[in-house]
Amino acid sequence: MRIVVTGASGFIGRTLLQLLIDEGFEAIGVSRSPMSDLPSLRVTQYSDTIAADVLIHLAENRDCSDTEGTRHNCDIPADKMLNSLIAKGFGKVIYASSVAVYGDRTSKPHRVRDPVDGDSFYTRTKISCEKVVLRAGGVVARISNIYGPGMASNNVVSKLLSQIPGEGPVRVWDTNPVRDFIWIDDVAQALMVMACSAQKGVYNVGSGTGTSVADLACLMLEEAGEQNRNVISTRPSNRPSVNIVDISATMRKFNWKPLVGIKEGIRLLMQMRRVGDPV
């Protein structure tokens, strides 16, 4: 089985592509950036992606992540690009969506049948692409907050790591939000088993548990032996903000479960920092 991974130079893409190769799949990454260390094809537009048995679509359009609702400088609208890829005749398409489509206004873990909320350009784009994939009989993976080696520098885990070790208070925008954090290898494993399955439809990929930003910071400080430092909000929202997903259907349908809990994941990141591995 030949598997193509778009967005292969990104955080999820590199980990997933390496996993597929390690597991013996014929896998090739497609990216706009050069990748000399893994089998890959460099393209200008993702619509130039080669055909295969399975497409795992992770790529995001350039300059299309404006969360304020403004659309600007998109090469090709994401749903049209996805339609052009599906027209190539892939046997199966898996699309990496986001749990952001659920919003953050309820404390109950979201099931896939819950209403979605297109209140930003980002979430509207995700919802539109989900519809394209579902019409084609594919799989939509709504993924929660991913962390691990290679993650972006602008997420809350990275911002906390950048302040440890240190002295004085640790600063975050808001300590109140509760999010579902999932280790990168668990995400890659979920996408791989989805590629091998006959299942179709929408599935949540997360840990199934929530951790507040305050608790996350405390876990990291405790692991670093700096638990006496305070954690303060610089832009407190003063409203509940919770996004946790129900992963029971994903676990049942794909015989998958996340293996790295938040405490172990933080411990792994801190250990990497101590020995000088890139985080």
Domain residue limits at 175? 2-275
- pLDDT at site 188: 98
Percent of the chain whose predicted confidence (pLDDT) is above 90: 87
Confidence band, pLDDT 50/70/90 cuts, at residue 63: very low
Burial of 209 (0-12, 13-18, 19+ CB in 10 A): middle
Facing residues of 147 across strands? 183
Percent of the chain whose predicted confidence (pLDDT) is above 70: 94
Q: Which helix (H) or strand (E) is 19 found in, with range?
A: helix 11-22
Could you give the 3-state DSSP secondary structure of residue 38? coil
- pLDDT at site 76: 73
Return all residues near 274 (Cβ < 8 A) that are at least 6 apart. Answer: none
Q: What is the CATH number of the domain that holds 219?
A: 3.40.50.720
Longest dimension (CA), the chain: 57
* Cβ-contact 85, 47 below 8 angstroms: yes
Q: Using one digit for the tens of pLDDT, what is the confidence trace for 71-128?
A: 444 557 899 999 999 999 999 999 999 999 999 999 999 999 999 988 899 999 999 9
Q: Using one digit for the tens of pLDDT, what is the confidence trace for 216-242?
A: 999 999 999 999 999 999 999 989 999
With a cut of 80, say whether residue 276 has pLDDT above it: no
With a cut of 60, say whether residue 249 has pLDDT above it: yes
Average pLDDT of every residue of the chain: 92
Confidence band, pLDDT 50/70/90 cuts, at residue 53: very high
Q: How many structural domains comprise the chain?
A: 1
Tell me the DSSP string of 166-199: -SS-EEES-S--EE-EEEHHHHHHHHHHHHT---
Q: Using one digit for the tens of pLDDT, what is the confidence trace for 182-208?
A: 999 999 999 999 999 999 999 999 999
Helix count (H) and strand count (E) of the chain?
Answer: 8, 14
Mean pLDDT computed over 173-182: 97
With a cut of 50, say whether residue 69 has pLDDT above it: no
Mean pLDDT computed over 24-43: 94
